[in-house]
Amino acid sequence: MAEVATRAIGAPVRRIEGRAKVTGAARYAVEHDPGEVAYGWIVQAQVARGKITDIDDAEARSQPGVLHVLWHGNAPRLEEVSDAELAVFQEPRVAYRGQIVAAVVADNPEAAREAARLVRVKVHEEPHDVGLRADHPHLYKPDKVNPSFPSDTDKGDVDAALARAEVTIDHTYSTPAYHNNAMEPHATLARWDGDRLTVYDSNQGAAAHRAPLAKAFGLEPEQVRVLAEHVGGGFGSKGTPRPQMIVAAMLARISGRAVKLPVTRQQMFAFTGYRTPTIQRMRLGATGDGRITAIEHRVFEQTSQIREFAEQAATPTRVMYATDNLRTSHRLVRLDVPTPSWMRAPGECPGMYALESAIDELALAVGIDPIELRIRNDADAEPDSGKPFSSRNLVACLREGADRFGWADRDPRQRQRDGRWFIGSGVAASTYPAYQRDAEATARVQPDGSFRVGIAAADIGTGARTALTQIAADTLGVPVERVRVDIGDSALPRAGVAGGSMGTSSWGAAVAKACEALLAEMERGGSEAHADTKAEIEAKKDLARHAFGAQFAEVRVDGETGEIRVSRLLGVFAAGRIVNPVTARSQFIGGMTMGMGMALFEESVMDRRYGDYLNHDLAQYHVPANADVADIEVAWIEEDDPELNRIGTKGIGEIGIVGTAAAIANAVHHATGLRFRALPIHLDGLVGAGT
C-alpha cells in the first residue's frame, strides 16, 4: 500500500457543504420538489398488544383532498423482509403501542393529518407486558448480540476467583430507554416511474436502504434508487430502513403521485428505534493492592415481539481490563414494546457506564486512585480473546488527561465544599472498536482537470464528505478545491452505512484506493478508475483493534436544592489518525454532550399501563441545553497504527459518548458521597444533601 501523502489530511478544512446548509440551499429528504406531490400521514396503534378487528375509514376518506386510506385490509402484499418492522399493513396483529396500523394520503398535509385522526381502529385488546426485570421469567439467551458477537463468554473460573478475592464489588446498575432524537425526523419522499422506484430518504446509508426496499416490493435492486444527500443526524436510528419508507412507497404506488411522508417527533418515540433499557450486574474481584482477578458482567435487556435486537452491552468488558477470569452474558426478554435498535455506541455506551462505575467503586474499596487502578490493570492483549492489540493507548489518555485536568491536585476526600456547593471530580475510560468494512469507489478526471469521486457514503452531519474530499485530494496530490466527492446516492458505488464509527476508515480506504488507481490509469491515458477494498480487508491480520479514551468530569452539586452542574468536561482520545481536527472535535464534544445527557437528563419514560413512551417530545425528553455545557475540552493522542487501514483511522463518531456518564456519576459520588446506580441522576435524591 502506498503511503498517503499528508497535506489536506490533518488540516482543519471547513465543512464543504456548510454554506449550503446554513443558507438553506441544502435539501433534506422531503424538501425535494418532485413536481405534483401528495402527502402521507401515519395512524398508530393505541394498544400495546392485540388484534385489529376492523378499521373504519369512511369518515377519513370523505374528507376533502383525501386520496386513500391504507391498512392491512387493503394494502398491497409485500415480499417477506427480514426486519418485521418493515412488514407494514401485512397482518392485523398489534405488537406494540404506537405501531403503524394505517396511513392516509391526501392532497395536502393538513388534510392527511386530519383524516388520520378520523380513522377508527377497532382492536381486540390483549393483556400486555412491557416491564423489563432482571428476574423476568421469559428471559432468554440470544444466539448472538449486535452485530455478531457471542452472547456469552466465560474464561477461567470466575466463581472461584471471586470467592478467593480479597476485595469484591457486586452492584447492579441500570439505564433507562433512550431515544436517538436526531434533529431531522425520519422522512421519506417516494416516487414511482413505471416499475422504478425513487426515494429521497433521511438515512445513514443509501445503498443499505436500497436492498430491503427492493426486496419488499419484489423489485431488482437496479429498479430502486435511494437518495440521501443531506441528512440531519441519525445517531444510529437511520442505519436500517424504518417503516415510514415502506409506507411512503406504498402510498405513492396507490395514489400514482410522488408522496412526502415526514415522521413527527412524537412518532419517532414509537417506530424509529431507541436504546433498550439495561439492568447490569457487575461483579469484580481484586487483590488488596487493586489487581483485578475476576470480572463478571451480566446484562438484561428488552426486545420486541417482532424483531430481536440484542444490544452488546457487555462487550466492552471483554476488551478493557486484564484478568484471568472473565465472564459476560446477555439476556433478553421479548416484550410488547417497540423494537430497540442502534443508538450512538450501542453496547459500549451503557456497558461502560456500568463497568466504569464499578471500577470507581473498586478504587474506593481498595483505596487506590482511580487512574492508578486503571493503569495497574491495563491489558497487554485483549482480555477475552487473547489477541494482541494493533495499538492501545488507554494509559497515555489517562495520563494526558490527568495532566490537563489537574488530577494531581485532586483531594480524594468526598464532600468538599465551595459555599453551599459540593464539588467533586470523576474519571472513566472510553473504548470503541475500530471497524472497517469493504466498499467500492470510482474516481474520474474531468475535462477541466478537476476530479470527481463517487461512493454511496453518507454524511449525516459528521463531516464525512469533507473528510473523504481531504483523503481524495491528498491521494491525488491536488488541493481540496479541485475534488468533488459525490455521496448519498445508491446509484453510486456500493458502501456500508454510516455506523460503527467506520465511515472514514471504510469509505476513505476505498476513495484513496480509487484515486490511486486513477493516477495509474491517467499514466496510461485513461480518465476513470474503480476500486474495491474487499481483498485488502480480508488480508488484514487477526488483531484486536480498538480506540481508547479517558473522560474527566467536575461537577458542582447544590447541597440545598440538589441541582447538579457539570462545570468541566475533558475527553482525551487515542483514535488513530485524525483526518480533520475541526469536524473531529465536533464529533467528540457532541458525543460527550450526549453522554452528559445520559448521566443527568435523558430518559424515555414509560407508563406501563399504556406501554408507550410518555415524554415523547423535546420539551419533555431533555437533552442538554447550551447552558448545561459549561467548559468542554477535547484532546487527542495521535496514533500511527499501520495495522488499521490505508488511512490509519480508528473512528471517532461514537467513542465520545462512551464513559462520559460514568465520569459524571463518579464525580457526583466524589462531590456528595452518594452513589447513584440508576441513570439519569436527577436532583430528587440530592435535595438537602448538604444539611
Partner 1 sequence: MKPFAYERADETARAVSTVAGSHGHATFLGGGTNLVDLMKLGVATPERLVDVTRLPHAEITETKYGGLLIGAAVRNSDLAVHPLVRERYPVLSEAILAGASGQIRNMATIGGNLLQRTRCPYFQDVSKACNKRAPGSGCPARHGEHRELAIIGHSEHCVATHPSDMAVALAALGAEVHVHGGQGLWSIPLTDLHRLPGEMPQRDTILAPEDLITHVELPPLPLARNSRYRKVRDRASFAFALVSLAAAVEVDGGNVADCRIAFGGIAHKPWRARKAEETLRGRPATPDAFGAAADAELADARPLRDNGFKLLLARNLFVRVLTDLVDG
**Catalytic machinery residues:** 654
* Residue 138 Cβ vs partner 1, minimum distance, rounded to whole Å: 24
Contact 356, 659 (CB under 8 A): yes
Q: Does 632 bind partner 1 (CB under 8 A)?
A: no
Applying CB under 8 A, which of residues 236, 239, 591, 624 lies at the interface with partner 1?
A: 624
Binding segment for partner 1 (CB under 8 A), chosen from 113-121, 495-503, 515-523, 637-645, is 113-121
Q: Does 685 bind partner 1 (CB under 8 A)?
A: yes
Dihedral over Cα of 248, 251, 253, 255: its sign: negative
Q: Does 418 bind partner 1 (CB under 8 A)?
A: no
Q: Residue 437 or residue 616: which is nearer to partner 1 going by CB? A: 616
Number of residues that bind partner 1 (CB under 8 A): 36
Measured CA to CA, the distance from residue 554 to residue 545 in angstroms comes to 30
* Residue 99 Cβ vs partner 1, minimum distance, rounded to whole Å: 13
In DSSP notation, 271-340 reads HS--BPPEEEEEEEEE-TTS-EEEEEEEEEEEE-SS------TTGGGGTSB--SEEEEEEEEEE-SSPPP
Dihedral over Cα of 150, 155, 160, 161: its sign: negative
Q: Residue 121 or residue 570: which is nearer to partner 1 going by CB? A: 121
Q: Residue 110 or residue 638: which is nearer to partner 1 going by CB? A: 110
* Residue 684 Cβ vs partner 1, minimum distance, rounded to whole Å: 4
Task: Write a three-state SS string for 410-450.
Answer: CCCCCCEEECCEEEEEEEEEEEEECCCCCCEEEEEECCCCC
Q: Residue 517 or residue 566: which is nearer to partner 1 going by CB? A: 566
Please report, as residue ranges, which positions from 259 to 278 form the binding site for partner 1 (by CB under 8 A).
266
Cis previous bond, 346, omega within 30: no
Measured CA to CA, the distance from residue 180 to residue 231 in angstroms comes to 14
Q: Residue 44 or residue 276: which is nearer to partner 1 going by CB? A: 44
Q: Residue 32 or residue 682: which is nearer to partner 1 going by CB? A: 682
Please report, as residue ranges, which positions from 161 to 200 form the binding site for partner 1 (by CB under 8 A).
none
Tell me the per-residue interface mask from 316 to 355 with partner 1, x by CB under 8 A, - otherwise. ----------------------------------------
* Residue 667 Cβ vs partner 1, minimum distance, rounded to whole Å: 16
Tell me the per-residue interface mask from 21 to 50 with partner 1, x by CB under 8 A, - otherwise. -------------------------x----
* Residue 297 Cβ vs partner 1, minimum distance, rounded to whole Å: 30
* Residue 614 Cβ vs partner 1, minimum distance, rounded to whole Å: 5
Q: Does 125 bind partner 1 (CB under 8 A)?
A: no
3-state secondary structure of 674: coil
* Residue 25 Cβ vs partner 1, minimum distance, rounded to whole Å: 23
Phi, psi values for residue 445, rounded to 5°: -95, 135
Measured CA to CA, the distance from residue 453 to residue 469 in angstroms comes to 8
Q: Residue 93 or residue 113: which is nearer to partner 1 going by CB? A: 113
Phi, psi values for residue 484, rounded to 5°: -120, 130
* Residue 45 Cβ vs partner 1, minimum distance, rounded to whole Å: 9
- Type of residue found at 213: L
Closest listed residue to residue 365, CA positions, set 622, 103, 628, 165? 165
Please give the distance of CA 481 from its chain centroid, rounded to a whole number: 31
Measured CA to CA, the distance from residue 11 to residue 581 in angstroms comes to 7
Q: Does 53 bind partner 1 (CB under 8 A)?
A: no
- Type of residue found at 86: L
Contact 646, 516 (CB under 8 A): no
Angle between helices 348-366 and 581-600 (to 10 degrees): 70
Tell me the per-residue interface mask from 573 to 602 with partner 1, x by CB under 8 A, - otherwise. ---------------------------xx-
Q: Residue 110 or residue 481: which is nearer to partner 1 going by CB? A: 110
Applying CB under 8 A, which of residues 110, 125, 195, 638 lies at the interface with partner 1?
A: 110
Q: Does 61 bind partner 1 (CB under 8 A)?
A: no
Contacts of 121 (CB under 8 A, 6+ apart): 43, 45, 46, 52, 55, 101, 102
State the residues that interact with partner 1 by CB under 8 A: 46, 110, 113-114, 117, 266, 420, 560-563, 565, 600-601, 605, 607, 609-610, 614-616, 619-620, 622, 624-628, 682-685, 687-688, 691
